[in-house]
A and B are shown apart, each in its own frame.
Chain A
Amino acid sequence: MRIIIYIFFLIFSLFYFVYAQLNIVATYPWIGDIVKQIGKEKINIHIIGKGTENPHYVVPKPSHIAQLRKADLLIIQGASIEVGFLQALINQSNNPKIQPGKKGFLDLSNFVQLIEKPENVSRAMGDIHPEGNPHYNLDPNNFPPLATIISQKMIELDSDNKEFYQKNMEEFLSKWEEKLKHWNQEFSKLSNTNVIQYHPTYNYFLKRYGIVQVGTIEPLPGIPPTPKHIEQLITLCQNKKISFIINSVYYEKNSCEYLAKKIGAKFVILPHDVGSLPEVKDIFNLFDKILETLSPK
């Protein structure tokens, strides 16, 4: 029987060849999209999470291990959002290059100002993150510094293509800055609008543009709503004009629809990442779609 295994070893060593391109694994589609804009055809990208999935609950499929094994660079969102699936995948990848602390490991949460960092943490408070709110990818102003960091890392690992990455990064930044002016201008019109969201996913976005969150449908982060909590929300909203009830694709919709009807608010589903809705094909579409959904028609 053991001979069979030795034969397997032999066969698969034949498959074992070095890739000329830089192999990058990103945990979420929005990170992957920045990488694609900078690396274009010079890189191979594998994205672990799907746009339609709850970013907190990505399944650690063994097929991701195969991709991590070949990776030169792993880019993560950080702030404990990947805590449920990433550690085991990294450990089982047997790839020393992408271990935390090594050159091929990049935690983007180190390069943004995280908000809502709790002073004390307890699981009695629901699914809270000791580092702060991890959904920082929903503020478009965070993208330029992150794109710069990612391109620097790619240049560090693949200096032969330095000019190529540099040029793409600059192109991306100027395109983004142009869009950002438009977004900042349009989103600022929403300032002081009252909203209710399902989970504190959009807090970076709300905070940036002065949109007021009156409450969340979840009583605590990660804890599904109870009838009592919904009743409390209704009482809370009695004398307020709530414009939107915001949800993401992966949560249940019934309580949002019920509440929207009760308080006369508009129920909308906002994209939270690239690929969450069919029309959100890249990070530009992500904010265009949010703008389109929240703009008065």
Chain B
Amino acid sequence: MKLISKFFYTFIFISLILSISNSQIQDTINENKEDQNWTDRTLEIRDKYEDKLRSYPVFNQKAFLPNISIITDFSYLNYNIDPDSSLIVPGFIVDTSLKDKGFNFNYNELSFYSSVDPYFDLYVTIPFEEDEVEVEEAYAVTRSLPSGLQLKIGKFRSSFGRLNSQHEHVWDFATSPLVYELLLSEEGLNEKGVQLNWVPATNFYLFTGIEILQGENELSFGTNKLLINTNINNTGQEIVIKSPTKPNLLVSFIKTSFDIGNTSILTGLSFANGESRFNSIEDNNFAFSGKTKMLNFELTAKHFIGSYKYISFQGEYIKRTQKGTEFEYDDMGDLLVNQYNSSQAGYYAQIVYRFDKRWKVGIQHNQIAENTIKINGESKILPSNLSSNYFVIEYNPTEFSRIRLQYGTKNHLFSDFERKKINEFIIQFNFAIGSHKTHPF
């Protein structure tokens, strides 16, 4: 990771130096030519001679620099419980550690985009966090396949659902919906692989495709083999569950959109199907090996009032079913191997009203609608009504800067078998420079 960041810093530095020095040289050459009297042989000779010492603008490549943009996201955060509380979400094994109270540097996202050649475009997104760098997306898409087909190759956000394929800076809320957090993790379904999509020549919008992905999502899929000892103190036998065949995840989706007057509807279904390997036996006394199926239903309805104002409804329902073997240690520290069946689902539904060119308000309701886990055929007793609600108000001085206030109540976290109600307050700042990005629908 450090190597990548070093490489990019050097690349940007060198290209900056090159472009500055080259343009200066170009200017001096032009000036020289204007001043120069063509009969003055000495000047002409000197000019030619000095040419040899200069870098040749012939090799100047700055016209080929890709479109570059940088988006910085920074926030102030406060909530009403102890940041070190150990929290769980019943039925889900997720990272519940809370962000720091006070100031948070969320990300500094560097993105590049350019055509590679007549056949491909390349998109690269590299979010720099305060102390780490990762390649979030780097993929090529074809430009000239016939019959409305397009191929996407590389690491990309899957087209599973609506928010999943969008970058978080275009989301309407500062946080990701609860159902995404619990089933897909904060990064969402972001995988290495290929996508083949098709836009048929119909009178209304239709977008469908399949993805073959590596399947490394930390919550729902996984490609690592499991190594589990039959005793909690590693004194027993080592059990090995082999890695699944890789690539391991198949996603398919179909989306359609149509307009009714000034209202646009976008809706779709997505499916994900893959193997899961989940090992949290040391931290949470739970490991799982089996199959995961997911379904997503999305619906957006946006009603436009004039050039800037709109009211939109957006919602997604995600369901996950898992079937396989579960591993846990009993009170004596011996390994139990159980049959595991789960069916967990949830949704978010939000209404956003942009009432002015610069102002937007919104509310979002998050609900876990189903949380059934059967171990050896017996249902686990889990609390119902896991939910959270958010209210947001946003001020956009221009389309390149944003100040957002978000207030949320979280009703899904438990500590020592007791529900912990958390009230959370966020002030978020987002700034973008560089090439102009297309507005999202």
Contact = CB atoms under 8 A, between A and B. Distances in A.
B148 A61 contact: no
B334 interface: no
Contacts, number: 122
Contacts of B206: 12, 66
Interface stretch (A2-10, A112-120, A284-292): A2-10
Contact of B254 (A5, A13, A80): A5
A69 interface: yes
B439 A60 contact: yes
A80 B206 CA distance: 28
Contacts of B148: 69, 94-95
A94 B198 CA distance: 8
Interface in A58-100: 59-63, 65-66, 69-70, 80, 83-89, 91-96, 99
Interface stretch (A26-34, A49-57, A185-193, A228-236): A49-57
Interface stretch (B94-102, B129-137, B301-309): B301-309
Contacts of A91: 121, 141
Contact of A83 (B264, B400, B436): B436
Given A2-B252, A62-B264, A62-B266, A54 B438 contact: no
Contacts of A66: 199, 202-206, 257
Nearest to A97: B144
Nearest to A49: B307
Contacts of B310: 59
Contacts of A17: 201
Report the 5 A-B pairs with minimum CB-CB distance, sorted nearest first.
A62-B257, A88-B438, A96-B144, A54-B307, A66-B205
Interface of A: 1-2, 5, 8-9, 12-13, 15-17, 52-54, 57, 59-63, 65-66, 69-70, 80, 83-89, 91-96, 99, 123, 127, 222-224, 250
21 contacts: A1-B271, A1-B273, A1-B295, A2-B250, A5-B252, A9-B208, A12-B200, A17-B201, A59-B264, A59-B302, A60-B441, A63-B258, A63-B259, A66-B203, A69-B148, A69-B201, A70-B201, A83-B436, A87-B438, A222-B398, A224-B358
Interface of B: 121, 141, 143-146, 148-150, 197-208, 210, 250, 252, 254-255, 257-259, 264, 266, 271, 273, 295, 302, 304, 306-308, 310, 357-358, 398-400, 433, 436, 438-441
